[in-house]
Amino acid sequence: MTTADAGSWQAGEDDPRGPVGKAFRLSAADSLSLGNAVCGFLAVCVLAYSAIQQLTVADGKFTPTPSYFATAIVLLLIGATCDLFDGLVARRFRASAMGAELDNLADVISFGFAPAFMVVIWGVGAPPSVPFIAVVTAAAAVLVAGVVRLARFACVKTKSGDFMGLPIPMGAMTVISIVLLFQPSIWALFAVLGVAWLMVSRIEYPKPKGQLAAVVLGWIMVNVAFLTFWVAWPEGGDLPIKIGASMQIALVAAIPLRMLFYKRELRKEAERIGN
């Protein structure tokens, strides 16, 4: 090995040496990102435990237990709350050098892998008319779309400052809403694929800032309340959770239409001024 080769293995002057520097310490915002990741991991654990328990007790027959699904969804909603606040905390106090990367990695776990795994668990009890490979394909599409969505978010910025494509937390909640509202079927899987497409589309979604952020937080709290009622009082029926899931799907469908009409109005206004 030559001296030049040996030098190539040595750390450069700009590489960190010795103890980890202050720039690489976790900030308060990073703690929220890690909390988001832990919530996603726990949601997967709850779903896996539900499947194992059901298969053990029911002699190989699996029927998803609503209480376990609700627990997993509450964990993901808590993760979404952490994700909503980590950016606000980072701007208010400080962000570490790892902040953006930690946020994206946590989102992959909570809003990419966890909902994809939920689709698989949901599809285990599908009728014979729904091939399991189709369920796995739809679940994989959710995961892949989420990863691509996050990678594009890190590289591409829109002129308006809005999100390009359905934000991954909203995409995850919409997939979960489909799972809650419908039995496994080909049409439900097409709806899941549609959500995956929205995440990688060029449709712009407004960023939750100011009053909109407060509305998003309130919406998360309402969903948590619906889920808590659903689990605590099962005799009350599925109506509360169905209302919440239906509103989520309606919201995701309405925003692109609203943005389309808004941009059309802007173009008309620009043409009017130009003439």
Token pair in block for residue 200: 């990688």
190 vs 182: CA distance, rounded Å: 12
Domain made up of 26-274: CATH architecture: Up-down Bundle (1.20)
The pLDDT score that the predictor gives to residue 263 is 67
The residues, ordered by sequence, that sit 6+ positions from 50 with a Cβ below 8 Å of its Cβ are 64, 65, 68, 69, 121
Distance CA 77, CA 21 (A): 33
The total number of residues shown for the chain amounts to 275
Give the mean pLDDT per block of 10 residues along the chain (275 residues).
Answer: 45 47 66 89 91 69 72 85 77 71 88 93 84 94 92 70 78 88 90 91 72 68 70 62 73 70 68 68
Is 101 in contact with 34 (CB distance < 8 Å)? no
With contact defined as beta carbons under 8 Å apart, do 192 and 178 qualify? Answer: yes
Name the 3-class secondary structure at 130.
coil
- Give the orientation angle of helix 211-232 with respect to helix 239-274, to 10 degrees: 160
> CA 141, CA 219: separation in Å to the nearest integer?
26
Instruction: Give CA–CA dist 114/146, Å, rounded.
Output: 11
Residue whose entry in the numeric block shows the structure tokens 């594009």: 152
Q: Are 146 and 90 in contact (CB under 8 A)?
A: no
What is the CA 263 to chain-centroid distance, rounded?
Answer: 26
Question: How many other CB atoms are there within 10 angstroms of residue 129's CB atom?
Answer: 9
**Alpha carbon distance 155, 141 (integer Å):** 21
Domain range annotation of the chain: 26-274
pLDDT at residue 68, as a whole number: 81
Strand partners, 5: none
